[in-house]
Structure 1
C-alpha cells in the first residue's frame, strides 16, 4: 500500500508517532488509509448537509476494513458570488481544489480517496485531482435540493424565482409581495439548486463517467438513499484500493463520450464543456472541443429540464436517473467500467422501467439535436459555446446590432435601465479566463434579459461564461478572448453580428480591411486585478477552448 511509506520500517518511527498522535491505534496501522476530502461549509446550501454524509462515509470505510482521515476543501457558491468581485474567484478555485487534493494525497501517501462534493467548481476540481493522482477514488455528490412549493402546488426554483423574478419586478410584471414570495420559496433547504444547473449536471456526469455509484448523481440531499450511497461509497473505496482500480481505468475516452452524450440528452450546463476538457487533460485523454458538436448532431435531447424546461431533479431521479438516460440512449452509449464493478451497459440494462414523460425515447425526442452547440466564425475562430436547448426557435438564427461593454456590470446597468432594445446583440468582453480574470458567469445579465421580456429579440455574446441556469440566445466561451486580442475585442457599437446556431456560425459582418485597421490600433487593457493570487492565475490560464486550465 502507498501508506506503507509512512507507517512501515524502523525509519518510519517518527511518522508512526505522529499518526498515533492523532489517535490512531496500533491495530489500525495495517489497514488502508482512506482520505475523505470534504467540502463541507456553512456557506453553501448544497454543502450544509455534508456533516451527516461524512458520518456515513466514515462508517462505510471502517465497515469495509479501512481507516478514514478527513481533510477540508474550500467551496464557493456561484449564486452568492454572482455579480460582484467574488465571481472572479469561482472558476480559479477549481485549480486550487485539484492542487489541494493532490497535495494532501501525495504528502500523506493516502491509499485511496472519497471525494465529497456538490457544487459547481468543486466537483470538477476533485475529478481533476482523481485523474491526475490515478489512485483509487470514488466521488460522493451531496445531492440536489427539493423544489420550493407555493400556493396551488406551484414549484419554485432558484434562478427563475430570484434572478429572473428580480427583472420581472423591475419591468413591473410582478409586485414586491410576489418578489418576496419568490425569494422565500426559491431555496427551501439543503442541496444543490433544483434544476439542471452546473452542480447537478456535473453530478450526473460524474456518475456517467463511472466515478460514483448509481443514483448518486440524482438522489436528493434530504433522502435516506443519499445516506446509503455515502455508506456504500465508503465501503467501496476500500475494495477499490485492494483491487487497485484507479480513475484512469474508468475515465477513458469512451467514458467521456458517454458523459457528453448524457449532457446533450439532458440539455445540461454549458460549463461542463470547460470542465470535461480539463478533466480529460488530467486523465490523459485527447478530447478536442469539436467532439461536443460532433456528438450533438447525432444525440437528441430527451428531457426538458429546468431552467429551460419543465422538470426538476426530483423528477429526473424518480424517472430513472442516469441509468434511465443511459437506457434510453441505447446503442449510442459505449460500454465502460465503473467504480461499482458493473459496466455502463450492465447498469443501463438493470433499469426495468423509465418514465418516458420525463426521459423520452430516442424516437420521440424533445429536440433532434443535443443541448449544447459549438459555434465558429469571424468572432470566434477557436470556438464558442451555446446551450441551444434553452434557445427559442425564432432566435436560433438572429442578426442584430452590437452594443459593446467591457465589463459585466456595465452591461447589467444598461439592461436594467432599459437601454437595451429589441434587435440588439449585447457584447460583454474582457471577462475571459485571463481578462476577467476568472471567466465570470453572466447569470445576472442573461436572467435580466429574460425577465425584461427580451429573450426572443436580444442576443448576448461574451468571452466569459454562463451559469447552468442561463437560458436564451447567450453565447459564451468565445475564443480567443478579448484580453488576448481576439476578434471580440474589435467589435464596435453599431456593427452587425450574425448568430446562426443551426449552421454553427457566429460572424461579425464587418469587412477585413476595417478589422485590420482596428487591429492595428488595439492595445491590451490594464489588468482588472493586479494583486493577490488572481493576478498570478491570469498569467498562466489558457483559453476557454482548452478548458481554461493553468499551465
Structure 2
C-alpha cells in the first residue's frame, strides 16, 4: 500500500482559526470530532434530479454507497452537480455536457475530498462526470443507476427503440392515439434508464470496459436489489483506492481505451460513444482519434442480441451473463492486463463469469451478426470524417447512390417532410444540415429523421440519411452522423444542393458527393455562414469554443488534466 497524504487534511487537519472554520461549520450537521481524525473523505457526486427521471432513484442509491464508505472507515459527503436529463432538456442535453463536466471538475478540486464516487445513469451524466473527475485525477469509481425493467404491452416486450416504430405507425394511421397513450404507461415501468442498448447502457458498458467500475456494474437492472449491493461494495472499494492511491490516470491507459472500442463493437453500442470516448481521452492526454474507433472495431463481430441492433433488452443481458461474459468471449482481442478499480486486471475479473444464454450473448466463432461496430467514413462530403452504425442499418443500403433531398435546418425539415409535393422517393438520400455542435447549438439527436409520410404509406421503412447531428442510441436505420466539419462552419457538407448525387459505400469506408471540386469551391465562395446562437453566458461560450465532432465536441481549453492542487486559500 502506498503512503498517501490525504488531501482532506489540508482542511480538517489544520490548527488554529482555519481548522476551526472548516470543522465547526461541518459540525452543524451533527458530526462528532472523531470523523475528522484522519479518515479518508469520500465525495458522492450525485446527479439525482426529478427532472432526470433515469436518475430519480439516486438518493436511495447514495445511501448504499455511504454504508460501504462507513464500513471501510471513510467519511462520506454527498454533493449535487448539474444533472442532464435526456428526455426533458431543451434544446439538447448534449449542449450542457461540457458545462456539467466543469461543474464536476471544480466541485471536486475545490473541496476536501480524497476520493469520489460518481453516481450517473442518463446518457450525458456518465461522460460529463467521468470527464470532470479524470481531469482532477483523484481516486474515482463509477456507480451506474442501471436500466429499467423491460416494458410490457399486450404480452409483448417493448423498449425505447420501439418509439420510432410507434411514431411511424401513427403517421401511417396504423395505431390509434388511445393505444399510443397506453404505451406511455407500459414502457417505463420501473426506475432506471432506457431498457435497450441505448446511450445510457452504452456508457455504463464503457466505464466497465475501461475499468472505472466494479464488474457487473453495466447490466444489473435498476430495480434489482443487487444494484444496491454493488453500490455498497463500491463505497467499500473507494476507501481502499484512496489508501492505495489508485487514480484514473493509472487505469485510463491507451490500452484501456482500445478495450472500450472493441467492447462497444461487440455490444452494438451507441454512436454517441464516439463523441464521449474522444472527449474523455482528450481530458487524460491519450492521443485517440476518430480513425482509431474504426481500426479497433473493424474485426469485432456483434455478440449482443440487444435492441436496437437485435431483439432483447438490458434486463435479459444481465441474466445472460452481462458485460463480463462479453469480455470473456473477447479475450483474444482485448488487452487483458489492464488494471481496474478493484486492482485486478480485466482478465482476473471476467475469468469467473459464465455464459447463460447464447441467444443473447453469442460467441466470436458464431456471432449474432458479423457486421458490428461503428464505421468511420471518409470522403469529400465529410473531410474530417463521419460515422455510421452498420448493425442498425439496412444491408441493401450500405452501398447506395441517390439524389440528395436537402433540409437546411431542423425547422426546414419539420415544415416540409410530410408535404405531398416534396420531391423524394425511396432511392433519395435525405440530408439535414446545421444540427452540429455550433449550428444547433449542441448537436441534437435528430439524425435519424423520420421518413416522409407518403413513403411510409407505401411501405418504405428505411432510407439513407446524412446529418452533422447525432442519433439517439435507441435509434436505428441507415443513418450517417457526426459529419465534420459541420455545415455551420463551412466545408463541402455546407454546400450540398437538392439533386446532388451522393454515394454511401460502407465496405470502402466512403461517403462521396458527385460534384466536381471546381464547382464545390465556387459554391463555398458564395456560401454565407448562418447566424450562430450568440446569447449571453454559457451558450455564447459554447458556440465560440466547442470543437468539431471528430474531436469529441469538447472545449479546447478543457483538454488535458488540471490536477487536484488548490492554488489559493481563502482563510
| Band of TM-score, shorter chain | over 0.9
Secondary structure at the aligned position of 2:406 is classed as strand
- Please, which runs of 5 or more residues in structure 2 have no aligned partner? 1-5, 557-571
* Corresponding residue SS for 2:511: strand
How far the C-alpha of 1:540 sits from its partner, in A, is: 0.5
* CA–CA separation in structure 2 for the residues paired with 1:455 and 1:246: 51
Secondary structure, aligned partner of 1:470: coil
Summarize the Cα distance change of 1:452–1:13 in structure 2 as closer, same or farther, 3 Å threshold.
farther
Question: Are 2:84 and 1:71 aligned?
Answer: no
Larger displacement relative to structure 2 (440-449 or 333-342): 440-449
Matched, 1:222 2:223: yes
Q: Structure 1, residues 336-392: CA drift from partner, whole Å, max 9, x if none? A: 111122210111211133422111111111232422110010110110011111011
User: Is residue 543 from structure 1 mapped to residue 544 from structure 2 by the alignment?
Assistant: no
Q: How far is 1:496 from its partner?
A: 0.8
* TM-score, scaled to structure 1: 0.95
Question: 8 Å contact 1:78–1:87 — kept in the other structure?
Answer: no
Equivalents in 2 of 1:412, 1:284: separation in Å?
41
Q: Deviations over 1:206-243 (max 9, x none)?
A: 11111111111110000110010011111111110011
Please give the residue correspondences for 1:414-429 in structure 2 after superposition, counting only pairs within 5 Å: 414-417=416-419, 419=422, 420-429=424-433
Change (3 A) 1:216 1:416: farther
Question: Partner of 1:276 in structure 2?
Answer: 277
- 1:431 aligned to 407, 432, 435, which one? 435
Alpha-carbon offset, residue 446 of structure 1:
4.4
Moved more, 521-530 or 47-56: 521-530
| Residues 448 and 476 in structure 2, CA contact (< 8 A), matched pair in contact too | no
Cα distance in 2 between the residues matched to 1:528 and 1:118: 29
CA RMSD of aligned residues (A): 1.8
Matched, 1:44 2:45: no
Distance of aligned partners of 1:343 and 1:100 in 2 relative to their CA distance in 1, 3 Å threshold: same
Match of 1:140 among 143, 155, 169: 143
User: Whole-Å Cα distance in 2 between the matches of residues 72 and 468 of structure 1?
Assistant: 26
Corresponding residue for 2:407?
405
Q: For the Cα contact (< 8 Å) 1:164–1:448, is it kept in 2?
A: no
CA distance in 2, matches of 1:542, 1:249: 27
Which residue pairs with 1:308 in the alignment?
A: 309
Match of 1:54 among 52, 62, 69: 62
CA deviations on 1:427-469 (whole Å, 9 max, x unpaired) are 1111111111111111672488897677655211111111101
Relative to structure 1, the CA distance from residue 443 to residue 45 in structure 2 (aligned partners, 3 Å threshold; closer, same or farther) is farther
Name the CA distance, whole Å, in 1 between partners of 2:130 and 2:254.
15
Distance 1:448 1:93 in 2: 31
Match of 2:569 in 1: none
Structure 2 vs 1, CA of residues 254 and 452 (structure 1 numbering), >3 Å: closer, same or farther? Answer: farther
In the alignment, does 2:119 pair up with 1:116? Answer: yes
Q: Does 1:377 align with 2:379?
A: yes
C-alpha distance in structure 2 between counterparts of 1:453 and 1:73, whole Å: 48
SS of residue matched to 1:78: coil
1:201-216 matched pairs, under 5 angstroms: 201-216=202-217
CA distance in 2, matches of 1:453, 1:531: 47
The residue that corresponds to 1:23 in the other structure is 30
1:106 to 2:90 alignment? no
Q: Give the CA deviation at 1:189.
A: 2.1
Q: Distance in 1 between matches of 2:158 and 2:210?
A: 30
The 1:57/1:469 distance shift into structure 2, 3 A limit, reads: same
Partners of 1:340 and 1:524 in 2: CA distance: 51
Taking the aligned partners of 1:417 and 1:361, their CA distance within structure 2 comes to: 47
Aligned residues: 544
Question: Alignment partner of 1:478: what SS?
Answer: coil
Residue 191 of structure 2 corresponds to residue 190 of structure 1: yes
Deviations 1:394-442 (A, max 9, x none): 1111111111112223223433445343122111111111111111111
TM-score by length of 2: 0.92
Alpha-carbon distance, 1:326 to partner: 0.4
Give SS of 1:423's match: coil
Aligned 1:126-275 pairs, distance under 5 A: 126-151=129-154, 153-160=155-162, 162-275=163-276
Give the 3-state SS of the residue equivalent to 1:355 in structure 2. coil
Give CA deviations for 1:518-551 in whole Å, capped at 9, x if unaligned: 0110111111453441122110000000000102
